[in-house]
Chains A and B, each alone.
Chain A
C-alpha cells in the first residue's frame, strides 16, 4: 500500500492535522461573525420559531432574486474556500451528503429549519432513470439558483388525501437568479435535466405538525407510497417494535398513551397493536376507548378490530370497558 509521506508522518504526530482543522474552523467562525452573515443566521433562529419569511429581511433577501444569495455564497467561498485550500488535512465543519449526483452542504440549522448549499451533477443525473413519481412532504422550501442551468418539472396538486391525485405538471427553466418558494405538501419540484452542474441555495422549514410524506405516480396520479413525516415518529415506532419483540410488558402503559395521544394515526395504530400483544387487558381498554370516540380517525378501524377480537375471544366481551 502506498501511503503519502505527509499522511504517514501523522501516525507519529497529528499536530499538522489539528492545526489545519483549527485554521479551518477559525475561517468558518470569521465568516459567520461577519455582520451580514451573522444577521442571516440570527434570523434563521427566529424563522425556526415561526412567522412568515417577510419578517426576516436578511433571510428573505437570499430568495428574492436580487443577487444576495450569490454574494452570500461568494463571501463564504472567498473566506472558507481559501482556508480549505490551505488546510488540506482538515474537514469542513459542516454536515454534508454526497453521492454521484447530489452534494449537499448544510450551512446552518435552527430547530426545524435548515439552510443548505446543493449541487446537482448533470452528467450523473442523466445516467439515472427518469423519475416516475413525485412526493409531497410537510415543509416549506425556498430555493435560489446560483449557477448552472437546467430544466425541472413543477408538480402541483390541491388534494393529496385520496388514492389518486390530479397532478398538474409544468416545465420550469432553471438558471442563475431563478427563485422558488414552495409549499411542499402540495408542490413538488423534480429536476430532470442539468447542463454541467446546478448550484442552489435552499432554505427549508418543516411544519410543526407533520403529515406523512405521500408519493404519487406522475403518469396517472396514482398513490404509491407514504412515509412518516418526521424522524422522531419513526424512531418511536422502532422503539415500540423493539419493546414488543422483547416482551417488555411494563411498557404497555406507555404504548397505551401513544395509542391515545400519538402524533399520527399510523403511529397510534402501531402502538395499539403492540399494546394489545403485550397486555391484553390494557390494550383492549384502549381499543374500546378509541372505538367509542366518534371524532377519532381510528374509531372505525378500532371498532372493527374490537368486533373481530370479541368474536375470536368471547371472554373479552365480559371486560368492564367493553360492557361500558
Chain B
C-alpha cells in the first residue's frame, strides 16, 4: 500500500503545551520557589 508521508507541522499539539523543564515565565519570582536551577545545573554537569 502506498502510504502518505505526513508532515509533522500538520499534526496538532495538545490543547495545553508543556515547556521544557525549568521554563517559567515570571523571572521576578527568583529564589522563592524551589531549587530548579540547581537541578538543571546538576543535570547538565552529570550529562557531560
**Cα-based distance from A215 to B24 in the complex (angstroms):** 8
* Interface majority SS (helix, strand, loop, mixed), chain B: loop
B23 to chain A, nearest CB (A): 5
Number of B interface residues, CB 8 Å?
43
Contacts A114-B38, A227-B19 given: A189-B11 contact, CB under 8 Å? no
Residues of B within 8 Å of A238, CB to CB, are 20
A319 to chain B, nearest CB (A): 7
**Cα-based distance from A273 to B6 in the complex (angstroms):** 9
* Interface majority SS (helix, strand, loop, mixed), chain A: mixed
**Cα-based distance from A323 to B29 in the complex (angstroms):** 52
Contact B18 A228 (CB under 8 A): yes
Say yes or no: is A225 at the interface (Cβ < 8 Å to chain B).
Answer: yes
Contact A125 B30 (CB under 8 A): yes
Contact with A along B1-28 (1 / 0, CB 8 A): 1111111100111111111111111111
B26 to chain A, nearest CB (A): 4
Residues of B within 8 Å of A144, CB to CB, are none
A-B contact pairs, 21 of them (CB 8 A): A97-B41, A114-B35, A114-B38, A118-B31, A128-B30, A131-B26, A133-B24, A134-B29, A137-B36, A225-B19, A225-B24, A226-B17, A231-B40, A238-B20, A269-B13, A276-B11, A277-B6, A277-B7, A283-B6, A313-B6, A315-B1
B interface residues (Cβ-Cβ under 8 A, vs A): 1-8, 11-43, 45, 47
A interface residues (Cβ-Cβ under 8 A, vs B): 95, 97, 99, 101-102, 104, 106, 109, 114, 116, 118, 120, 125, 128-135, 137, 139, 141, 152, 184, 188-191, 202, 204, 206, 212-213, 215, 224-235, 237-238, 244, 264-266, 269, 273-274, 276-277, 280-281, 283, 301, 305, 308-309, 313, 315-316, 318-319
